[in-house]
Structure 1
Amino acid sequence: MKKLFTLRGVSNTGKSTKVKLIAEWININYSAINHGIDFSKHDIIGVLQINKLKIGFVSAGDDLNQVKQIEKLLSLHKNDENNPGSDIDIIINTCRTKGAGRKYLENNFNHSKGWVSKNIFVERINPASTVLQAARDNRILDELKTWLTGVEKL
C-alpha cells in the first residue's frame, strides 16, 4: 500500500515549512534524485527519488485546489508500460483541519483506494511561544523522520 502523511492544522502553524524541511532533510541525507522541487520557493511540489522509492511533496494545502495538486504529481509519475515501477510510493502534504481539502483526502486516499493515511496534527500554540513552537516542530519532524528512516522499495 502507498502512504500519505498529511500535516493538518489551522493557518500559520508552519505546516508548509515542515514539509519543505523534511524534503530538504531527505535530499541532503539520501542523495535523492530531484524531480521538480524548487527549494528556493516557499511552497514546494515535486518528487524525490531514493533508488526505486519515490516520495511526493505538496506543501501548499490552504484550499481544495492546492490539496488537489497531489493529482498532478500522481499523473506525472504514473506507472505505465514505458516506465514500470514509476508510481509515487509516499506523499507528504498539508491541509487545513476542516473543509473540502480534508474531505477530499479522506475520500480519495484511504484503504479502499490502496493508501494508508497518517494525519499529523500541527496545533496552534496560544499564546505564541518560540520555545513551545520549536518543541512542537521538532516532535513533528522527528515523527516524520521515524516513519521514513529505513523505508526502501525493493
Structure 2
Amino acid sequence: MGLFGLNEKRCKPIGKQAIVDEYGTLAYCCLGRKPRERLTVSELQRYDSGLVKGKLATGPYYRELTPKSDTLVFIRVDYGSTIDNLMRKCEDDIRKRMEVPAFQQLIMDGQFEIAIATTDRLNGQRAEKIREAILRRSWPIRFRVEGVPGLFELW
C-alpha cells in the first residue's frame, strides 16, 4: 500500500501520453464552453452496472443531461497525430463498446457520444478538420469537437 492508502502503482509518475490525456480531459471538463463533471468508476456503475467492463470503465466519461435526454459521453483527447489516426482511435472506441451489451444498447438508443478535445490554437483549423473527417464517414453515434487551451503545448 502506498501514499494515502493508494495502490503503489497509482503513486508512480505518469508518462507523457497520460499527462496529455489527463490534462485534455480536465481542460475539456473545466475550461470548455460549459463545465462538465467527469464520472468516477463507481458513478458509472451506478448509472449502469453493465458498463463497468474491464478498461472501458476507467475511460473519461461524463453525463449530458437535458430535459429530453440523458447521454453518456466518452472524452477522446487528441494527441496531435494525424486526423486519420484519430478517426481510427474513435472507430476502435466504438468497436470495443459495441462488444459490451450495455454500451451497445446506449449506442442503438442514441445515448452515447464521443467528445473530442483538441487544441484551441491554430485558429480553430484543427477542430474544423476533425469535424470534416467525421462527416466523411458513417458513424453509429454523434460527436462533439471542442478546442481546449493548453493542449497544443503538450504535444
- When normalised by structure 1's length, the TM-score is 0.40
Structure number with larger C-alpha Rg: 2
* More helix by percentage: 2
Query: Which is strand-richer, 1 or 2?
Result: 1
